[in-house]
Structure 1
Amino acid sequence: MRTTGLASGGMLIGFNLFQACKPKVEPPVDLSQLNYNDFNAFIEIAEDGTVKIYSPNPEIGQGVKTSMPMIIAEELDVAWKDVYVAQAPLNTEHYTRQVAGGSQSIRHGWDALRQTGATAKQMLVNAAAAKWGVDASECTVSEGVITNAAGETLGYGDVVNEAAKLEVPEEVTLKKPSEYNIIGKDARNVDIDEIITGKPLFGLDYKVEGMVYAAVARPPAFGQTLKSFDDTKARQMPGVIDIFTIGEKARALLEKDERTGNILSGSDKVVVIAETTWQAMKAKEALETVWEDGENMESTADHDKILTDLLDGNEFQTMRADGNVKKAFAEADQVLERTYESPFLPHNCMEPMNFFAHVTDEKVHLVGPIQTPEWKAGLVSAMLERDPKEIHLEMTRMGGGFGRRLFGDFVLEAAEISDKIRKPVKVVYSREDDMNDGIYRMAIKYRIKAGVKDGQVTAYHLKEAAINSNMYGLIPNFFPAGAIENYQVDAANHKSPITTGAWRAPYTNFLAYAEQSFFDELAEMMEVDRVQLRLDLLKKVDAASDERIQYSPERMIKVIESAVEKSGWGKQPKGVYQGFVNYYCHNSHVAEVADVVIENGEPVVKKVTCVVDCGIVVNPLGAKNQAEGGVIDGIGHAMYGDFGFEKGKPVASNFDKYRLIRMKEAPVVEVHFIKNDLSPTGLGEPTLPPAGGAIANALKAATGNRLYKQPFTKTPELLKPRKQEIIG
């Protein structure tokens, strides 16, 4: 850095960027100049040996665009430095489960991707063997070079044309984990150069000749419908091309596909078409719209009472019932019952919702950030009454998803608008649109009750009351299922016009905090060690005899023991307060320990130790980033995330009223992975749910107060440290 005095007496601070750059940087390979041969849907190999691997699943920052090709490249036996990665479009013929959701991309793709790489490798070896006139078993491969027993070599590029014509072998040999050269090694994000140099990767970057922009005026409150609008002023503004309403096709789709019931509004919307995004948004602000209230215009106060009434009522669906909880509670020596509350939450992706559509007589071209491309392509096909083969959908990189981009209401808007104007158009949300027209995490209350007899937990009853839960998410077969003889899980639901859906780690994002905080308090009541209580319960689980049990007690015990060791549990100096949790979700086992200290009279989360068993870790660098991000995200929303409604209208529309965690508040996150040779499981979500419980339990240790509501800052009086700590 250097400073330069200005005549005005000010100071100019700048960076000499060129001096900081590396003096010699190899330019990237121009892939457009290479003559590729399509080897299969995933792999293209050029005659110079360069390999292009297509990543089939949507990339939302979880790293699959890097890790999925790594799996193929490992079995293909090529050098990672010679691999170039491209995003595949939606292709239901060649790919399965092109979805980013549930932390399942690697888990579901693991075997198929390995098979793809190994099959291509075998065909290349077979082609080389035929060229030499030797048996393929005599050949070996290393980094894309095939060698025969005589020491002769051929590169993949030398035989790719012949290999592509061979029959696909029915059986191939997959590598053992001990033979991996790429899997298990750090690999940087394949898009990182484009990201840091501002190359077009994201939906907002996509442009074509003649494209126009659309801003959409939607009902400002859930439950409202459009009554009338006056666009006189808006039409006079610069760049405005047209103003009209949409909604008819969406309403028709609501009748055809029940899955759209909670993501589409039955109201008309007013669309402004303009030459630029800014012009479209400013003209939308100039519209004079009149919205009509519906019968059900709910507020946060209504939801609070509705959820409490549900918990107190009898309208439950029982998800699992073992033994007889009523009898066990009647016979218990001690009973503990607590209620936990969480608010609605928006997703707040860094990149607001957007999508491109161009509808012509020949095809429907869709491009943008979407987590469920096949579902959206199918809905567009149904909405526009077009042959599914005419829908061509391309995925861009996403600036965050967290579940919001599973639903794709913005995709349907773009398609309906383009169908009406027959021009290429991009729908772009403002930040206010993004927060006010969201698909929110549902508000939930949990009531947990446990009974203790003769020093043992003999009964456990979990009740859920949720807004628009649809009963699909409460997890009845996770821990402590199978560990307690009398165990029951019930769920009740209130149907609301407020659109709700998946939010990073659905249901478990709050349930983990509730249950793990409850177990800590249960251990206090029983006067037993909180970690040992969990271990003792896990040792009672016989997962082999109960196929409903989804977690592994043995793997959970291992992450607990590792977290105790790595965190120095119970061995920290005075003034460091620790909170412990363990949790299973998205097929992975996690344990976390939070360290809280008192600074300036306030509790501060300084460190979180996170231990994860997610099987084989494909890309440790990316995996660590995912685990750290999940922990920080979980802490931020547990501490600060608060959102509600007043007569159906969101109470916050931007970050001036909605609180996110700040950089200075993010703790050090120390991540450890359990090493094993088991197939990979989820990682994008599993470290988020335990974080809230870890800090809640640490805050209890620091302040003496239990927290039953999120966000924790909503009850600031409970975050005050003990008097002796303030004095000390």
Structure 2
Amino acid sequence: MRTEWMNTQAAPEPATLNGQGGMSRRGFLKATGAVGGGLVLGFFVPGAGRVALAQPDKPVSAPNAFLRIAPDNTVTVSINRLEFGQGVHTSLPMLIAEELDADWTAMQATLAPAGSAYKDPAFGMQMTGGSNSVKNSFVQYREIGARARAMLVAAAAQQWHVTPDQCRTDKGMVYGPGDRKASYGELAESAMKLPVPGKVSLKDPRDFRIIGKPTPRLDAREKSSGKQQFGIDANVPGMKVAVVARPPVFGARIAKFDAMKARAIKGVVDVLEVPTDRGGTGIAVIADGYWPAKQGREALGLEWDTSSVEKVSSDKQFATYRELAKKPGIVARDADISRLARAPKKITAEFEFPYLAHAPMEPLNCVVDLKADSCTVWAGSQFQTVDQGAIAKTAGLKPEQVTLNTMMAGGGFGRRAVPTSDYIVEAVNVAKAYHATGKAGPVKLIWSREDDIKGGYYRPAHVHRAEIGLDAKGNILAWNHTIVGQSILTGTPFEPFMVKNGVDATMVEGMGEPYEVPLRLSVHNAKANVPVLWWRSVGSTHTAFVMETLIDEAAQIANVDPVAYRKKLIGDKHPRHLAALDLAVVQSGYGKISLPKGRAWGVALHESFQSVVAYVVEASIEKGVPKLHKVTAAVHCNQAVNPLSIEAQVQGAALMALGTTLPGAAITLKDGVVQQQNFSDYTVARMPDMPQIAVHIVPSGDAPTGMGEPGLPPLAPAFANAVAKLSGKRLRKLPFELNAGTKTA
């Protein structure tokens, strides 16, 4: 596997930022409190109006907010996100280090706790999601570095009785006339006494020496050596461990259990009935460790009352969805489709996508230390602001009485960003029940792998139905399209901003563009007793597959090369798409080299989170099973902050996407019960499935766009398009069912 990147092209003049997108002096914090002294800086951009979710807020200050320069010259950066594999523990410090002119070898990072100072500058809440971490903090973190640098230079100039413009900085040092020099650590204390500049100029991208360079991760050594502490490793003195027996059908309630048998297990200290998500109840077994808690749960002899909750069965659900898809729904995008009925050629296609579990390698967990007037929590939270509020409400406290420590997390893919804060609320409820018995001390709630797979909040199941009319030459005349599925935003705080006229924006994202096609799009919002949530790349997990396989099929009907067909439909309105597609084609050798016998090319292109990824793949069918051999990826994410992180994200996203094509990659329900429970019956891609991947980055000096998720959507359709060439069948389902494919024209 390899990544290639290029130096950025000429970019606009350096920006002077002090208004929207910048920060005024009053938004900064200057405080002591760091051990051994030093310079501490931090700020919060209130809303900034760049995203629909941004809400007005007051600037706030907090001790030790973002940046600390210690006397020994180390620079510690507080990360306002969750680090769970995407690399922000390195990329965000790179932004500060660039403008600070820091010595990269002296950089350190730490995850910030929940706090108003750490809110996303665009969303107005502390969160990690939507591939927004680098994108939304690109200016924020650079300004912190630039202001700190200006204060250090001012301190040096004051000591040396020279003007600041007579000084320069490099690798953690300030240099002045007459061979004067001082380290940042030496200057930090005096810099603290100076006013924070209200206006700074940021570097021209052409002058970057850290941003854009492949940089090993700051947390790589700890993680590769096993020293890194994740949420599940948290160990607080006096802590007990809890597991919860949850209803087999979502929202059901406990009818009967045998607490005595569970208490008979050595190490079990309590057995308590607790509220669970969606109005259900369950049984918490609290013990001296995980194993006795788990054994105690197995001894409960549980009986459940499921009489008052809906019991979903996947077969019936898909049958209902297919019937709905034949009827017009709520119009999300309108177009004239009058030419559909008389089109000489047609494509009628029905697609099915199952529920998907997030299945991160680290199952959910949370430590709660609840006291009468405070609550301290340790968790790998993606939604610190939301979770802190939920903890406070559940515990009967004020948010300021809650300390939420952000722990490293072993993956998440959206599961740790739940508007209901389900697993954290459950943990607090367990702690409340435990303390109500007169006991004290922290409680650590751990989900097993089976709990995680069966525990809900899945990528929704969807059915798409497309009717496309083409002329004799294969040009698209009209396209009528219907999507059926559950809304993930209805009933959440995001509904007012992202559900318009009954259309959940995440359900239809990725439909249509960049192609100039007359698309009429409608949706049906289905209801089901299955909790659903965003899953890496959200709606694009299904819309990209539908769009890119149908465009490929149309190209086949037109008897036009699929790359040429796409480029014609894109036209000249989407240069970033064309740049990514062209780069993938050139680097793969598509159309220039001969593939081994039994292999075929597959192409797909998709934009999500404002980044474009194009794939050209090589695939075969071996003993009736599709096999992916080689992947060439081209990425247009504007300024590449850390090419190594982009490579890792594309590799991981491609493998995760490949997993969605494999047999068994589906969550199914029967009579309301999830049928899968572990990796033995819920398929995820493994190392032997990994193809050879080459990642190429389109050069750009524009501000970064998202990169954590965009590598996922186009992989499966590119693979499917290659399989269609080999088998003569168009695949309409994920995971792949080659025997159920539709013959191509």
Which interval holds the TM-score relative to the shorter structure? 0.7 to 0.9
Candidates 629, 632, 641, aligned match of 1:606: 629
Candidates 704, 713, 716, aligned match of 1:689: 713
Query: What amino acid maps onto 1:710 in structure 2?
Result: L
Aligned runs of 1:521-540 on 2, under 5 Å?
521-539=553-571
Aligned to 1:559: 580
C-alpha distance in 2 between matches for 1:475 and 1:295? 26
Candidates 284, 293, 298, aligned match of 1:280: 293
Deviation at 1:404, TM superposition (A): 0.9
Candidates 237, 248, 252, aligned match of 1:220: 248
Aligned to 2:411: 400
Do the aligned partners of residues 490 and 442 (structure 1) sit closer, same or farther apart at CA in structure 2, a change above 3 Å counting? Answer: same
Deviation at 1:458, TM superposition (A): 2.8
Aligned runs of 1:226-625 on 2, under 5 Å?
226-247=254-275, 264-293=277-306, 294-314=308-328, 316-321=329-334, 323-325=335-337, 327-407=338-418, 408-422=421-435, 423-453=441-471, 455=473, 456-469=475-488, 470=490, 471-474=503-506, 476=508, 478=510, 480-481=512-513, 483-484=515-516, 486-539=518-571, 541=573, 553-574=574-595, 575=597, 576-599=599-622, 602-625=625-648
Deviation at 1:718, TM superposition (A): 5.4
Contact 2:510/2:544 (8 A) holds in 1: no
Aligned runs of 1:95-174 on 2, under 5 Å?
95-96=119-120, 97-174=125-202
TM-score by length of 2: 0.85
Contact 2:731/2:740 (8 A) holds in 1: no
2:686 is aligned with 1:632: no
C-alpha distance in 1 between matches for 2:150 and 2:623? 65
Contact 1:603/1:699 (8 A) holds in 2: yes
Offset from partner CA, 1:426-467 (integer Å, 9 cap, x none): 100111111111211111011122222474323223211013
Deviation at 1:514, TM superposition (A): 1.4
**Secondary structure, aligned partner of 1:490:** strand
Query: What amino acid maps onto 1:38 in structure 2?
Result: V
Contact 1:335/1:452 (8 A) holds in 2: yes
- Identify which range, 690-699 or 81-90, moves more after superposition: 81-90
**Secondary structure, aligned partner of 1:167:** coil
**Secondary structure, aligned partner of 1:448:** strand
Offset from partner CA, 1:457-513 (integer Å, 9 cap, x none): 232232110134544244656463474363222111211111111111111112111
Do the aligned partners of residues 536 and 718 (structure 1) sit closer, same or farther apart at CA in structure 2, a change above 3 Å counting? Answer: closer
C-alpha distance in 1 between matches for 2:658 and 2:511? 22
Aligned to 1:548: none
**Secondary structure, aligned partner of 1:66:** helix
2:225 is aligned with 1:197: yes
C-alpha distance in 1 between matches for 2:298 and 2:587? 55
Aligned to 2:76: 52
Contact 1:626/1:683 (8 A) holds in 2: yes
C-alpha distance in 1 between matches for 2:79 and 2:112? 6
C-alpha distance in 2 between matches for 1:277 and 1:476? 42
Contact 2:509/2:540 (8 A) holds in 1: no
Contact 2:638/2:704 (8 A) holds in 1: yes
Gaps of 5+ in 1: 1-31, 251-263, 542-552, 722-728
Deviation at 1:400, TM superposition (A): 0.8
C-alpha distance in 2 between matches for 1:201 and 1:34? 25
C-alpha distance in 2 between matches for 1:216 and 1:572? 57
Offset from partner CA, 1:358-394 (integer Å, 9 cap, x none): 1112311011112111111111222223111101101
C-alpha distance in 1 between matches for 2:414 and 2:576? 28
- Identify which range, 588-597 or 417-426, moves more after superposition: 417-426
C-alpha distance in 1 between matches for 2:98 and 2:487? 44
C-alpha distance in 2 between matches for 1:482 and 1:77? 40
Aligned runs of 1:2-41 on 2, under 5 Å?
36-40=38-42, 41=65
C-alpha distance in 1 between matches for 2:310 and 2:155? 68
**Secondary structure, aligned partner of 2:512:** coil
C-alpha distance in 2 between matches for 1:711 and 1:473? 24
Aligned to 1:23: none
Contact 1:58/1:98 (8 A) holds in 2: no
Deviation at 1:46, TM superposition (A): 1.2
Deviation at 1:636, TM superposition (A): 1.4
Contact 2:730/2:743 (8 A) holds in 1: no
Query: What amino acid maps onto 2:428 in structure 1?
Result: A
Do the aligned partners of residues 662 and 482 (structure 1) sit closer, same or farther apart at CA in structure 2, a change above 3 Å counting? Answer: closer
Contact 2:38/2:192 (8 A) holds in 1: no
C-alpha distance in 2 between matches for 1:616 and 1:82? 24
**Secondary structure, aligned partner of 2:657:** helix
Query: What amino acid maps onto 1:377 in structure 2?
Result: Q
Deviation at 1:224, TM superposition (A): 2.5
Query: What amino acid maps onto 1:555 in structure 2?
Result: R
Deviation at 1:112, TM superposition (A): 0.7
Aligned to 1:258: none
C-alpha distance in 1 between matches for 2:159 and 2:223? 43
Cα-Cα RMSD: 2.1
Contact 1:449/1:462 (8 A) holds in 2: yes
Deviation at 1:221, TM superposition (A): 1.9
Do the aligned partners of residues 602 and 476 (structure 1) sit closer, same or farther apart at CA in structure 2, a change above 3 Å counting? Answer: closer
Deviation at 1:328, TM superposition (A): 2.9
**Secondary structure, aligned partner of 2:201:** coil
Candidates 94, 112, 115, aligned match of 1:88: 112
Offset from partner CA, 1:677-701 (integer Å, 9 cap, x none): 0111111110111000010001111
Aligned runs of 1:619-698 on 2, under 5 Å?
619-640=642-663, 641-698=665-722
Do the aligned partners of residues 94 and 644 (structure 1) sit closer, same or farther apart at CA in structure 2, a change above 3 Å counting? Answer: closer
- Identify which range, 72-81 or 639-648, moves more after superposition: 639-648
C-alpha distance in 1 between matches for 2:511 and 2:461? 23
Identity of aligned residues (%): 31
C-alpha distance in 2 between matches for 1:520 and 1:661? 25
Do the aligned partners of residues 478 and 94 (structure 1) sit closer, same or farther apart at CA in structure 2, a change above 3 Å counting? Answer: closer
**Secondary structure, aligned partner of 2:619:** strand
Deviation at 1:647, TM superposition (A): 0.5
Do the aligned partners of residues 205 and 367 (structure 1) sit closer, same or farther apart at CA in structure 2, a change above 3 Å counting? Answer: same
Do the aligned partners of residues 485 and 400 (structure 1) sit closer, same or farther apart at CA in structure 2, a change above 3 Å counting? Answer: closer
Deviation at 1:67, TM superposition (A): 0.6
- Count how many residue pairs are aligned between Structure 1 and Structure 2: 660
**Secondary structure, aligned partner of 1:216:** strand
**Secondary structure, aligned partner of 1:404:** coil
Contact 1:479/1:584 (8 A) holds in 2: no
Do the aligned partners of residues 523 and 299 (structure 1) sit closer, same or farther apart at CA in structure 2, a change above 3 Å counting? Answer: same
Contact 1:603/1:719 (8 A) holds in 2: no
Offset from partner CA, 1:166-204 (integer Å, 9 cap, x none): 111111111111211111122222122222232242011
**Secondary structure, aligned partner of 2:278:** coil
